[in-house]
């Protein structure tokens, strides 16, 4: 549980001597590649912290085409917040892209943490605001940026994902076809030379 301990200690400033107490507040789950933590139509019960592995969150349109919303590598969290906090049926799937070790954090995890360690509330709020900013930037990018600009932003956000997922998943995240992604990558190589 090294990644969650580092997250709690270094990001939220939970004293290291108190980390054992925190461990009683989450549950560890090992899932295989292609297994689901959430399916469309289910109500999300947890936030998922990736201790090891890689998850993706996606939706499908009426034609069955997948649209990847987010990847979650090690030390990232992923959840359908609308479903979790408003008790709505999810519109999304959360699936393991690799064999993964995931920690299940209940809806009350961060409020319970703040009750025990009040200083974590402000830091967690800042992280939530940063997440909202990133989502807004992603929507803007999908609407206004070129495929090349979206790809370059993707590389900054997920520097090692290209080595871990098939090209069609990256294209899905970018909102383009795999063929368009190939053209973008070739053009970037050409520009460098």
pLDDT, average across residues 37-55: 97
User: Nearest-CA neighbor of 28 among 57, 58, 11, 53?
Assistant: 53
Domain boundaries, the chain: 2-117
pLDDT score, position 45: 96
Residue 115 contacts residue 129 (beta carbons within 8 Å): no
Indicate whether 191 pLDDT > 80.
yes
pLDDT score, position 35: 98
Superfamily of domain 2-117 in CATH is: Jelly Rolls (2.60.120.10)
DSSP state of 192: H
**What is this structure's pTM?**
0.93
187 confidence band (pLDDT: 50, 70, 90): very high
19 confidence band (pLDDT: 50, 70, 90): confident
Q: How far is CA 90 from CA 13, 39, 143, in A?
A: 32, 7, 24
């Amino acid at each position: 549980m090294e990644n969650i301990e580092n997250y709690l200690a270094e990001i939220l400033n939970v004293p290291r001597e108190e980390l054992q107490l925190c461990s009683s507040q989450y549950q560890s789950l090992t899932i295989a590649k292609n297994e689901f933590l959430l399916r469309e139509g289910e109500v999300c019960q947890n936030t998922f912290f990736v201790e090891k592995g890689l998850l993706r969150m996606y939706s499908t349109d009426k034609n069955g085409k997948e649209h990847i919303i987010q990847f979650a590598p090690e030390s990232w969290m992923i959840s359908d917040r609308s479903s979790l906090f408003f008790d709505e049926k999810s519109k999304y799937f959360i699936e393991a892209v690799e064999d993964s070790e995931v920690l299940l954090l209940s809806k009350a995890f961060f409020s319970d943490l703040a009750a025990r360690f009040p200083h974590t509330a402000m830091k967690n709020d800042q992280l939530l605001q940063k997440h909202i900013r990133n989502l807004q930037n992603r929507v803007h990018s999908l609407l206004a940026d070129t495929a090349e600009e979206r790809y370059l932003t993707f590389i900054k956000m997920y520097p090692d994902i290209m080595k871990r997922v098939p090209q069609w998943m990256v294209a899905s995240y970018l909102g383009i076809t795999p063929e368009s992604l190939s053209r973008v990558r070739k053009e970037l190589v050409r520009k460098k030379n």
